[in-house]
Amino acid sequence: MLALQDEPRNDTIEKSLCWLAQRAMTIESASSLAWAILSLYTYQRSVQQLQNRLAVILGNGAFMSNSATLATVLLALRCGEMMHPFMVLR
pLDDT averaged over 10-residue windows placed end to end, the chain, 90 residues: 88 95 94 95 93 89 77 89 68
> Residue 18: which region, alpha, beta or left (left: phi > 0; alpha: psi -120 to 50)?
alpha
Residue 79 phi, psi dihedral angles, 5° rounding = -55, 135
CB 51 within 8 A of CB 67: no
Sequence-distant (≥ 6) Cβ neighbours of residue 33 within 8 angstroms: 24, 27, 50, 53, 54, 57, 76
**How confident is the model at residue 63, as a pLDDT?**
67
Question: Cα torsion at 21, 82, 67, 56 (round to 10°)?
Answer: -50
pLDDT at 60: 75
The reported pLDDT for the residue numbered 59 is 83
Confidence at residue 83, expressed as pLDDT on a 0 to 100 scale: 67
Q: What is the pLDDT of residue 46?
A: 92
